[in-house]
Amino acid sequence: QSACFDYLSLGGIYSQGPISLLGGLNPRPFVLVAHFFMVALYGIGRLLKPFPTPRGVVIGWQLLMGACAIILPIIRAEGIVAVFAPYLSRKPQVPLAAKKHQQDQDQTEEQTESGVHKKTN
């Protein structure tokens, strides 16, 4: 917890990425994975900072394994290609009804923008 707080306190890109994820401004899963491991590695670095001790190495290893146990199932569920190379993954298929609804909304917006309104009696 303290490693995460200190990581965010660094500011700049260290806080911008996680905050954009929390705010829903950045939907890319790679950013989540990258910052997740950066926080874990930051915490391990803090454990080993003055000089590595056997206890610090063991706790650091446990921290890394705990982080992997949390994030690897998420990566597996999203798809490895979708996380690390989203430009290679297929776009999700849109059901026909949703596609028709979107087309109807687009037509309505076009009519509104052009000033054409249908009169309903």
Condensed to tens digits (0 to 9), the pLDDT of residues 55-84 reads 999 999 999 999 999 999 988 988 888 888
Distance between CA 30 and CA 81 in Å, rounded? 10
Distance of alpha carbon 108 from alpha carbon 116, whole angstroms: 9
pLDDT digits (tens, 9 = 90+) for 20-36: 888 888 888 888 899 99
Q: pTM for the full model?
A: 0.63
CB 31 within 8 A of CB 49: no
